[in-house]
Amino acid sequence: MICAGIDAGSRSIKVVLFDNEQSRILSTRIGDQGVDQKRLAAELFEQALNEAGIERSRVSAIVATGYGRNTVRFADTTITEITCHARGVHHVAPDARTIIEIGGQDSKIIHLEDGGQVRDFAMNDRCAAGTGRFLEMVVSRLGVDWQKLAELGCDSKKPALISNMCVVFAETEIIGLLAEGTPVPDVVAGVQNAIATRILALAGRSTVSPVYFTGGVALQPGMTRALAEALSCPLRIAPHPQYTGALGAAILAGQSRRPGGL
């Protein structure tokens, strides 16, 4: 049984085609979010089908998740990103007990029971601090790309202190630090530490290992370091971290077609 998961996030759309019988990913696609989410999702879905060499008629079910899930009208149903990320991470890392997911507009801490069921979760969706948007501001301000940002953060000798947790005020603070001659790598590492501090406040004292980091921000090595130091525990990067939500959606789509449903 072949199913599809579409994660319509705030910054990008991810598509996963999954063979539920063989328990393997057939193809993936990712693209920047835009105004016409339905069209973009449909185009990425078609690209994923073409890459896998699969006819649309062979797809048994489609589940949409993420910030813009309700705009993906061709999906059979929608499921919240909390449930989908939990299912996707559990599939690739059955030992996971805590998930840290940092997206473009929000961040989440998800606690799992044995078997991958969600025990509870906390979510920051009202402030850009602690999200990928904070890093996007730094990328724009420094005029570098994401790969260069990762390299800069790893070169820091003395991370700067970013005291403002509001992105608007933090940007002003960063401008001041650069004007004072603070090395760029130290500014980048300071921002990463500030995000990690926000995640620590979100997690509280209930983080249980193993802890897996997922979402597009997990591809930034400096963020893994900053989070591990803030939480005082090692972090593992989920395989293909930007796709865990879409993967979970595809797996749940397959379960919905079995007797008894989800």
pLDDT surpassing 90 at residue 106:
no
Higher pLDDT, 243 or 102: 243
Average pLDDT of span 124-131: 66
Q: Which of 146-150, 222-226, 256-260 has the highest mean pLDDT?
A: 222-226
**Above 60 in pLDDT, residue 254?**
yes
The single residue listed with the structure tokens 């501090």 is 197
Beta-carbon neighbour count of residue 11 at 10 Å? 15
Give residues with Cβ within 8 angstroms of 178, minimum separation 6.
184, 187
197 vs 166: CA distance, rounded Å: 13
Q: Tell me: the pLDDT tens digits for 192-236?
A: 898 888 888 888 766 899 999 999 888 888 889 899 999 999 999
Say if CB 123 and CB 117 are below 8 A apart: no
Q: What is the DSSP secondary-structure string of 209-250?
A: SSEEEESGGGG-HHHHHHHHHHHTS-EEEPSSGGGHHHHHHH
Residues 6+ apart with CB under 8 A from 21: 1
For the chain, percent of residues with pLDDT exceeding 90: 57
Residue 132 has pLDDT above 80, yes or no: no
Distance of CA 185 to the CA centre of its chain: 24
pLDDT of residue 260: 55
Which has more pLDDT, 170 or 89?
89
Query: How high is the pLDDT of residue 34?
Result: 73
The dotted CATH code for 1-93+240-262 is: 3.30.420.40
Average pLDDT estimate for 36-42: 89
Per-residue pLDDT for 99 more than 70?
Answer: yes
Name which residue leads in pLDDT, 87 or 130. Answer: 87
Domain with CATH 3.30.420.40 in the chain: 1-93+240-262, 96-238
The pLDDT assigned to 150 comes to 76
User: Among residues 261, 248, 244, which one has the least CA distance to residue 30?
Assistant: 244
With both helix axes pointing from N to C terminus, report the angle between 167-179 and 184-203 in degrees, rounded to the nearest 10.
Answer: 150
Q: Tell me the CATH number for domain 96-238.
A: 3.30.420.40
Taking a C-beta distance cutoff of 8 angstroms, is the pair 83, 246 a contact?
Answer: no
Residue 235's φ and ψ, nearest 5 degrees, are -115, 145
Q: If you average pLDDT over every residue of the chain, what do you get?
A: 89
> What are the Cα distances from residue 97, in Å, to 4, 87, 113, 261?
26, 12, 7, 25
pLDDT of residue 67: 87
Choose the weakest-confidence range: 1-10, 41-50, 169-178: 169-178
